Amino acid sequence: MRALGPQPARGASLLERGAAPLDGARRYVFGLLRRSELALAVVARPDRRIAALAAVNALGAFTMAVLAPSALLVLGPVLLGVLHVAADVRYLVLRRGLPPWWRSVVWAACAALLGLRAAQELFGSAAALLRAEHALLAAWLGAAVLAGALASRAWRRAALAAAAAVALSAAALAAPRGFRLGLAHAHNLVAIALWLALFRRQVRAVALPLGLVLAGTALLASGATTSLTLRAGWLDAFGLHLFLASDWLAPGLPTRAAVALTASYAFLQSVHYAVWLLLIPQEDGPGQRTTTFRMSARSLRRDFGDAGLAAVAVAAFLVLLGATGSALGTRNVVLSLASFHGYLELALLAYFYVRGDVGRGAAQARPEPVGAARAAERGRPGVAAPPAAP
């Protein structure tokens, strides 16, 4: 006879079945790690695990930025662009307990910015459209400060944030193209700031990877590695030559300085992706344990819903499909349409600063879903609390 009681939805069942092989591989890896006390000690402690992940990513990204910067610039947005924007939305909006009216403002602003960028792709980057984009950013920042102040009544923080928002908006409206270029470089650092301010409980525990990121950025931007890149690097990848990328990212600079700045951008962009797709997901769950892939699949479905997950999957598939025809063209469209997430990060950073979330950590700043803690205590499947590593 068929078992009585609530049955999992078909979509959830398919998602979990798809994750099952990954959990099998995970158990095998943990079995290997048990043979090494040092490796197991790193994986078992969240701070050590997150620091190790960040350090490995920084070293790998630095190597790619020196030897294959063009490939890094194309493959990153094509393979990870959609997923990291979805992570932005998930960890800044869906899982942060925003007031309903403010969440509606966030959705409306994202949709409006996406529409403006789509218009620029269709009709060219007209000055009027670019100014409208930055005017919308100014209004969004103002709304973010107001929303944070209404939630916290911290008027001094609100005044400081408002002053910063006015200065940023004035710069954007006075020099739209220069501001867009500056934001392209700076927004990679905003992800690190959000990680440390909203999700990281102890910055000291990740001092090593942060030092590696700073040292890597300094070495690349200083030009210390430029000769190696020009002599031994893969300069032309997927239709993008490093000199062409330098014309976009460092216009007007001498060739070597432009290449150095472009390589540092490629490095920090890769770090940016890792922050959203590796580090913040590790930080967001309370406790000392790791999560299985099936637990992560259920959590994704709970946050996005079936329609949201389908939209993310379709968008990622379309990007990959487009890249088979023109990887460079697809990369450019992805970066343009996804640029709203840079404004999202700025607006939510202002909001969380005024609300008082900075320095509290994810577990304290985000209320746990109703009933999740009780379900975790009873060991029910599909709960938010991560299980012990097998």
Q: What is the secondary structure of 141-193 as a DSSP string?
A: HHHHHHHHHHHH--HHHHHHHHHHHHHHHHHHHHSHHHHHHHHHHHHHHHHHH
Only one residue has tokens 């400081």, namely 160
Length of the chain: 390
Contact 71, 234 (CB under 8 A): yes
φ/ψ of residue 339, rounded to 5: -65, -20
Between the two ends of the chain, the Cα-to-Cα distance in Å is 32
Q: Exposed, middle or buried: residue 185 (CB in 10 Å: 0-12, 13-18, 19+)? A: middle
Identity of residue 75: L
**Pairwise CA distance, residues 163 & 118, whole Å:** 31
* pLDDT tens, N- to C-terminus, the chain (390 residues): 444 444 444 545 577 777 778 778 777 777 776 677 666 667 778 888 899 999 999 999 999 999 999 999 999 999 999 999 999 999 999 998 899 999 999 999 999 999 999 998 888 767 888 889 999 999 999 999 999 999 999 999 999 999 999 999 999 999 998 999 999 999 999 999 999 999 988 899 999 999 999 999 999 999 999 999 999 999 999 999 999 999 999 999 999 999 999 999 999 999 999 999 999 998 886 555 667 778 888 888 899 998 999 999 999 999 999 999 999 999 999 999 999 999 999 999 999 999 999 876 554 444 444 333 333 333 333 333 332 332
**Pairwise CA distance, residues 218 & 389, whole Å:** 38
Helix (H, G, I), strand (E, B) or coil at 236: strand
Only one residue has tokens 């939630």, namely 151
**Pairwise CA distance, residues 52 & 42, whole Å:** 8
Contacts of 58 (CB under 8 A, 6+ apart): 209, 212, 213, 216, 271
* Nearest one of 316, 287, 284, 297 to 382, comparing CA atoms: 297
Every domain of the chain and the residues it spans: 43-360
**Pairwise CA distance, residues 362 & 285, whole Å:** 8
